[in-house]
Amino acid sequence: MAKEPKSVEERSLWEDAQRMLEKAARDGVTTVWDRLEEQTPQCAFCDQGLTCNKCVMGPCRINTKGPKRRLGVCGADADLTVARNFGRFIAAGAASHSDHGRDLLEALHGVGTGTAPAYAVRDPQKLARLCVECGIDVAGLDTAAQARALAEVLFADYAMRGKALAFVSRAPEKRRAIWEKTGSTPRGIDRECVEMLHRTHMGVDCDPASICLHAARTALADGWGGSMIGTELSDVLFGTPKPAKAEANLGVLSKTKVNILVHGHSPVVSEMILAAAGEPDMLAAARAAGAEGINVAGLCCTGNEMLMRQGVPLAGNHLMTELALVTGAVEMIVVDYQCVMPSLVPISACYHTRFVTTSDKARFPGATHLEFTLENALEKAREAVALAIEAFPRRDPARVEIPAEPVSVTTGFSNEAILEACGGTPEPLLKAVKIGMVRGVVGIVGCNNPKIKHDSLLVGLARELIKQDILVLVTGCATVAMGKAGLLDASGAEQAGAGLADFCGHLGIPPVLHVGSCVDNSRILHLCALLADALDVDIADLPVAASAPEWYSEKAAAIGLYAVASGIPTHLGLPPNILGSPLVSDLALRGLEDVYGAAFMVESDAAKAAEAIGRSITAKRLALGLNDRYDGAVYS
């Protein structure tokens, strides 16, 4: 018997989403939740990672239950099949972040060579710092020359750096020794991804554990390579984030202005849209079309990039992308790549919304394609904004519903900003950790997944953790959830335990700090390295953890794995498709602990997950000889 469709209250935690789900039904728009129900029950073999289509002797399904079909045609068993699938899953995630990072690198090179006229180095100090870190003598080099020199060094990271990627040197010595010993040191970003494709071809690496270890190396090439390059160069080109106030949720859409949503991941595109939308000619054109102005708002990770650096309001996360269009108030959605549901094209067509693609890598049939290059970016951005203005008179007020009032959020906590708030050193944070005022730090990251009630696990977990005096750092789609729950505002400290509330009060910060987009999880790695170095311990010794409660994507899996391989215990709200292999599952949940000093935990209940994370943090504190509870020691 078919199950009853879930009610809107069962689908999302939030009223803005629920009201838009009702409107979607009225407007005849189907959403990701409807399609999930249509797809349920999903294939049990695929769910467990037991299908293989890597060659045309197959496809094969590995049956772990009965006597027959226990092996694929080539002889691969369940463990090998799961490991090969998982390895490719991780490589796809690492490749996605890293190819995004490459676009920033090319932009930096373009600035250095004068072929990217609309871009500039907005944080020359950071550029110089990175140059020095990468062994470049900056004496006598102007900004352009520094940009070229740094780009050359990092280009080599993509190919074959050889022994180790440049930023691997940021990791604590003890961590690097573990990577050396286990053959996990990433040698080249593209190299590790390509090697994973090679290893998982039929008849290459047939040892499931060996494939999993290479998966960890591939993930490390993402975290300490592609993602870190993406973050650092985005700061150089567009400014290093500083704490600032902004707004979030669907209420940031305007009834009276031209609404432009930027969606995807790369600030190389969205920064240009923002720049074009601010030009006086564009404003005049918008007024001539009957609008009061132009409102740019963000979705998903590009939304995080724009929020962090420019205070651009954040309209929603992954599961809000369709619903944002259902407001009927969006003139244009302009996308670059990743996490852009193909369903957005037909949904745009239900309204007056222009769907604009910008990258040759990410073409969508039915879209208006304006190909952005480093040479033409601002020009193309103007064309795009003009299309949005043109669409404004076609907006049908009878079909517009903007379902919420915006909430206030504080953003911009780059490591530079966190250190600055602490007076230039990590000492004040460390002191708070030492006296138990802040028991630990947890990064809550990643996506939404319609299998989990939208934002419920993200918010539930964050609330439980801050009650335990655990400071939360947030990135990516998790950000909007925290914002809507009031946790990105200093007043959110009221929901925290006494110690954390005190600490937040001292610094005037919220209990959940927004540190950026998903590539910016590399900021968390770097912060952990700084804290570990200050205490002269390994990252695995720190009272820290990570969590991707509502994750869905290959990229999120890569993030989880690089966190674990960096020594950070990582919680997932639902497992990857590995349960068909006892060997791989056991490695993920336990075995990695022996290799990297950290492993995964899977738990779909917020309170239980918080308890498990809290226990792990307690154990780390005790091992460091720290009190587990805030004993009221004076913090000054």
User: Residue with structure tokens 């005096």?
Assistant: 469
Buried b (16+ CB within 10 A) or exposed e, 463-493: bbbbbbbbbbbbbbbbbbbbbbbbbbbbebb
Of the pair 443, 446, the CB lying nearest ligand XCC is at 446
Looking at 128-136, 137-145, 552-560, 606-614, which segment touches ligand XCC (CB under 6 A)? Answer: 552-560
Question: For ligand SF4, which is the closer residue by CB, 88 or 187?
Answer: 88
52 binds, among ligand SF4, ligand XCC, none (CB under 5 to 8 A by kind): ligand SF4
Of 379, 430, 410, residue with least CA distance to 515 = 410
Check binding of 206 to ligand SF4 (CB under 6 A): no
Euclidean distance between CA atoms 595 and 624, whole angstroms: 20
Q: Which does 484 bind (CB under 5 to 8 A by kind): ligand SF4, ligand XCC, none?
A: none
Report whether 166 contacts 151 (CB < 8 A): no
Q: Is 293 in the site for ligand SF4 (CB under 6 A)?
A: no
Q: Is 54 a binder of ligand SF4 (CB under 6 A)?
A: yes
Report the nearest approach of ligand XCC to the CB of residue 237 (Å): 19
Handedness of CA 302, 367, 258, 397 (dihedral sign): negative
Residue 458 or 527 with smaller CB distance to ligand XCC: 458
Cβ atoms of 255 and 406 within 8 Å: the answer is no
Single out the segment in contact with ligand XCC by CB under 6 A; choices: 25-33, 130-138, 402-410, 551-559.
Answer: 551-559
Q: Which span sits near ligand SF4 by CB under 6 A: 68-76, 219-227, 493-501, 578-586?
A: 68-76
Q: Applying CB under 6 A, which of residues 19, 102, 318, 571 lies at the interface with ligand XCC?
A: 318
Of positions 21, 60, 165, 465, contacts ligand SF4 by CB under 6 A: 60
Q: Which does 301 bind (CB under 5 to 8 A by kind): ligand SF4, ligand XCC, none?
A: ligand XCC
Q: Is 202 in the site for ligand SF4 (CB under 6 A)?
A: yes
Cα distance between the two ends of the chain? 63
Contact between 97 and ligand XCC (CB under 6 A)? no
Contacted by 55, from ligand SF4, ligand XCC, none: CB < 5 to 8 Å by type? ligand SF4
Comparing CA positions, the residue from 296, 293, 270 lying closest to residue 280 is 293
For residues 460 and 476, which CB has a smaller minimum distance to ligand XCC in the complex?
A: 476
Interaction between residue 518 and ligand XCC (CB under 6 A): yes
Asked if 556 interacts with ligand XCC (CB under 6 A), we say yes
Structure tokens at 632: 């009221």
Question: Could you give the CA distance from residue 232 to residue 228 in angstroms, rounded to a whole number?
Answer: 6
Token reading at 325:
């269009």
CB 150, CB 134: distance < 8 Å: yes
Pick from 13, 20, 32, 76: which binds ligand SF4 (CB under 6 A)? 76
Extended strands (E) in 537-622? 544-548, 570-572, 600-602
8, 36, 74, 138: which one contacts ligand SF4 (CB under 6 A)?
74
Q: Does 95 bind ligand XCC (CB under 6 A)?
A: no
For position 151 contacting ligand SF4 by CB under 6 A, the verdict is no
* Nearest residue (CB) to ligand XCC, 148 versus 265: 265
Interface segment toward ligand XCC; rule CB under 6 A; list 76-84, 177-185, 548-556, 594-602: 548-556
Supply the minimum distance, in Å, between the C-beta of residue 68 and ligand SF4: 15
Contacts 24+ apart (CB under 8 A), 609-612: 609/457, 609/461, 609/464, 609/547, 609/549, 609/571, 609/573, 610/461, 610/464, 610/465, 610/468, 611/464, 612/571
Min. distance of Cβ 56 from ligand SF4 in angstroms?
7
Tell me which residue has tokens 């399609």.
35
The answer to whether 97 touches 517, Cβ cutoff 8 Å, is no
Q: Is residue 53 at the binding interface for ligand SF4, with CB under 6 A as the rule?
A: yes
CA distance 13 to 455: 6
Residues 443-482 that bind ligand XCC (CB under 6 A): 446-447, 476-477
Angle between helices 227-238 and 267-277 (to 10 degrees): 20
410: left (phi over 0), alpha (psi -120 to 50) or beta: beta
- Residue ranges of E strands in 535-581: 544-548, 570-572
- Tokens at residue 250, please? 């669907």
Work out how close the CB of 602 gets to ligand XCC at its nearest, in angstroms, rounded to a whole number: 18
In Å, the largest CA–CA distance within the chain is: 75
Give min distance, CB of 630 to ligand SF4, in A. 54
In the list ligand XCC, ligand SF4, none, the entry touching 571 (Cβ below 5 to 8 angstroms by class) is none
The strand ranges marked E within 431-549 are 440-444, 470-475, 512-516, 544-548
Distance CA 391, CA 353 (A): 7
**Which stretch, 55-63, 176-184, 352-360, 412-420, contacts ligand SF4 (CB under 6 A)?**
55-63
Partner from ligand SF4, ligand XCC, none contacting 447, C-beta within 5 to 8 A by type: ligand XCC
Applying CB under 6 A, the span of 28-36, 74-82, 347-355, 376-384 interacting with ligand SF4 comes to: 74-82
Phi-psi map region of 486: left, alpha, beta (phi>0 left; psi -120 to 50 alpha)? left
From the list ligand SF4, ligand XCC, none, partner contacted by residue 57 (C-beta under 5 to 8 A by kind): ligand SF4
Interacting residues with ligand XCC between 280 and 309 (CB under 6 A): 300-301
Q: How far is the CB of 550 from ligand XCC (least distance, A)?
A: 9
Cα pseudo-dihedral 447, 448, 449, 455, rounded to 10: 140
Using rule CB under 6 A, residue 58 touches ligand SF4: yes
Instruction: Tell me the HSE value of 404 on the side-chain side, using a 13 A CA sphere.
Output: 21
By CB under 6 A, what part of segment 159-178 binds ligand XCC? Answer: none
Classify residue 142 by burial, with Cβ atoms within 10 Å: 0-12, 13-18, 19+.
exposed
Please choose, out of 218-226, 231-239, 395-403, 550-558, the segment that lies near ligand XCC by the rule CB under 6 A.
550-558
Query: Which residues sit at the interface with ligand XCC, rule CB under 6 A?
Result: 265, 300-301, 318, 339, 446-447, 476-477, 518, 553, 555-556
Query: Which residues sit at the interface with ligand SF4, rule CB under 6 A?
Result: 52-55, 57-60, 72-74, 76, 81, 202
